[in-house]
Structure 1
Amino acid sequence: MKSLKLISSAIAMLMCFVSMAQERTITGTVTDQSNVPLPGVQINIKGTKNYAQTNYDGNYSIQAKTGDALIFSFIGMDSQTIKVKSSSVINVALKESSNQLQEVVVVGYGESTSDYSTRSYDRAERKKAKTAATASVALQGKVAGVQVQNNAVYNPSQNVVIRGAASVSPKNEPMYIIDGVPAKANQMSKINPNDIKDLKVLKDAAATSIYGNKASNGVVVISTKNELYKNLTEQELDKKLNIMPIPSEPTQEDYDSFVENAFESPRTAPLSTFSIDVDNASYTNIRRFLNNGQQVPKDAVRVEEMVNFFKYTYPQPKNEHPFSINTELNDSPWNSKNQILKIGLQGKNIPTEDLPASNLVFLIDVSGSMSDANKLPLLKQSLKILVNELRQKDKVAIVVYAGAAGMVLPPTNGDEKQTIINALDQLQSGGSTAGGAGIELAYKIASENFIKGGNNRVILATDGDFNVGSSSNSDMEKLIEEKRKTGVFLTCLGYGMGNYKDSKLETLSDKGNGNYAYIDNIQEANRFLGKEFKGSMFAIAKDVKIQIEFNPKQVQAYRLIGYENRKLRPEDFKNDAIDAGELGSGHTVTALYEIIPTGVKSDYLAEQPDDLKYTKTETNSNNYSDELATIKFRYKKPDGDKSIEMVQVIENKAVALEKASDDMKFSSAVAWFGLKLRDSKLVSNKSSEDIKKLAKEGLSNDADGYKAEFIRLVEAVK
């Protein structure tokens, strides 16, 4: 009996030990004492290298065991250490550090002097941090409407935000004045707080009336005790503050180059044929450049993807076809003698409950290049948004690749959300990038679990930096064209900057019955994977092609705006073996043509060729004076192999731009801005003010504010 009791005790102790040693997901929210969420708080497991950070909403998730000590640290706050007990939810409220700046004064006009003490912080838990405090940190939490955000742990610098003025940039960066000299944010952040004599913050009219429009986001004015930096040039200030020069443009990003579509004559090129494009990665990538204050690479601008980022109010289809066709003809806003033809498609909106079951494979890049905060950490948060949209009948598997590829989650029902989320939370980056092996494995799993009549799709999430196995664009193109034959669709999600490989992701999506989005922030993830989940993930028509024949009696010349890498040969239109774009549930697609009417003199037209000896180019003698063009569409059902054709005649009824629809005005403004960014030689007027004016005239149906955000982007480019 005694031995039995000993065995029982041993088993109980063993079970207790196993329970204590078992890792589980700890979640929670970190706030300040005012219950305001704190983004960027670092959570370390004491004695290990494991850590996590809070997201934009102050939420975090980390794998830990009972008994582990979690250390919560944030610049300007006292660190807290909390032991993991039975609960899997730990919420923390951090207190401001007691040794901090005593006073900061916000002034409009006049002089103000205050005494400052150095603000120091406990950074023992912040790995390799070398700088104790900066001038920008001195502003944190001390002025209403001023926010300081850390950019990195190893090279600390801060973004200072002074609320009260609209800005396209989420940083809302103010102007800096150091000892009377305009300075940059990284220069201000390097100043020793011990050297500061006086610091002022000017906002709104108080700032602009003194410093002009450059101060529309506020001004931070710093005076040092001995005027250490007075009369220095920018280069001299950098040298004195030991700031190394950094390149202003990313040097390893990769974009396919292309030549802008030229004007063509309907007499010599009677047919214009192209594939639809529902991608909008170019727009969000451009937004990232502009928000970071960088110049946009010319080849990063694909005008059709900019136009198709926005949704327009086209009517739902009323017949057996999966989309409606809508056209509009107006005067051109940038070339007054020309006209713009808008062609809009509206995909049928299918109720969520009627959508087919999904067989999804998340193919996730966990290589070393994905370690940045805007890569794998943002990627995991993005896919959680998609997971929340899944139903019980949907299935998800997760494949990862770095030096090799492997499956970390077998096909799992969509209602087992926590299981899927836990698998995502455990992903860490490291190693090289065997993208080809990952694609092979993902398609293998998708094919093995293929749902006939369902939504079978691989979702590739990466920065596109493949460097092991199939890596060149041509190799990847051949691989994905072969995999397309399985009937599995492809969605590409791009992340990151600096080494971003746009060209590879565009190639994959174009050739893989797919679509492509660039996720620059969590809001974009919520739009593409949440609000527009049905359009992004459920195709209602595939291989959608457009062919238009212009009437030479009415059209002297035409050009397709954008779609340069989607153009097809005339004979490709009826060839069902030729791949084209996919249309999702509720999706809209818009294409714009610029037209030079017959009889108009134009500087953009080449010399007309002499009459040909052997080939006649006479116009059909039939009277089609009321027709501008005839447009044809071909598409296949998602699981079909034979295309279906639609035909529609476009009447020659142009109206003045001021009488155009809001959709026409706004889509034209977006295209105009794209042509400006590409420095198009076919646009005579590139005024940002005129672009903004037209966009504002078309500003409607903007519940989520995307169109208003576009107008702010235009304002940023002079």
Structure 2
Amino acid sequence: MNYLQRMKNGLTFLVLWFVLPFYSQTTETTILGRVTDVWDTPIPNVNILLKGTQRGTQTDAEGLFSLNANANEVLVFSSLGYGSYESAVPETGEELKIVLSPMVTDLDEVTLTKRKRKTQKDILAEFPNNTNLVKTSRGVLNKDRSSSSFQVINGKDLVATGPDFLTSLMNYSPSMRVVRVPEVKVYLRRIAYSIYDSIGTPPKAIFDVDGFIHETAPTYLSSHDIDRVAILERNAAISRYGPMGVGGVIVINTKATTQMDDSGNVKRYDNSALRDSLNELFIDESRNTPIPHD
């Protein structure tokens, strides 16, 4: 073998000696692992990225993952609510067991402010401008805070037509029926008629006028006398008035009482009567007035 041939073989050996170790270090292998929390519960959808690259994957529902990586790379684990964690890719190919700890967030100083409960005077001061407030014999009723649904009609929207204000009020309650002979009676629930066909007349609505209960319709009032009207049906009436509200309640606030309240002559609209109605509804078994189901 001549000198040139020996030099060529030597150079080839040197190239292989340098390249083969480098090639073996950069060969990708499949990394398997599982991610859990400190209670050994699998964490799904953990983001796993090879640091400094865009290559990565996520854990499945069992917290398992697999990813092709090189032995000299670093895995970065992150998940919402947990601290991030870095781990070098093992050279031996063993399965990784990664434990993520819950992230602890330092809160700024928290100030608790006690909410002042509104007094009767405060509520009545809002009455002229808050059209969702209605004064009843069972306390001031707020449409915005009531657990039952009902409607409030502004007296300005009642048109003076027909024999009395009920004619105009019927436009806001399609189920309302007014019987005028032999006396004026109002029925709010048409659905109740079939229920009572076999046992008699369905229950009629009662009226709460400026905090006083009326069994008959106050037809002496004109539309111009009324400040606002609330129509309470079903649960809204029964929960507030007890069995007497089974046929519904029409609450009327007149302009005269509103003006008296504004002048300082305030009627006490407390909830003691409401409490008595609820007690009567659940305790008094002497009443046999049937309550129709919705």
Higher relative contact order (CA 8 A, sep 6+): 2
- Give the structure-2-normalised TM-score: 0.32
The structure having more radius of gyration, on CA atoms, is 2
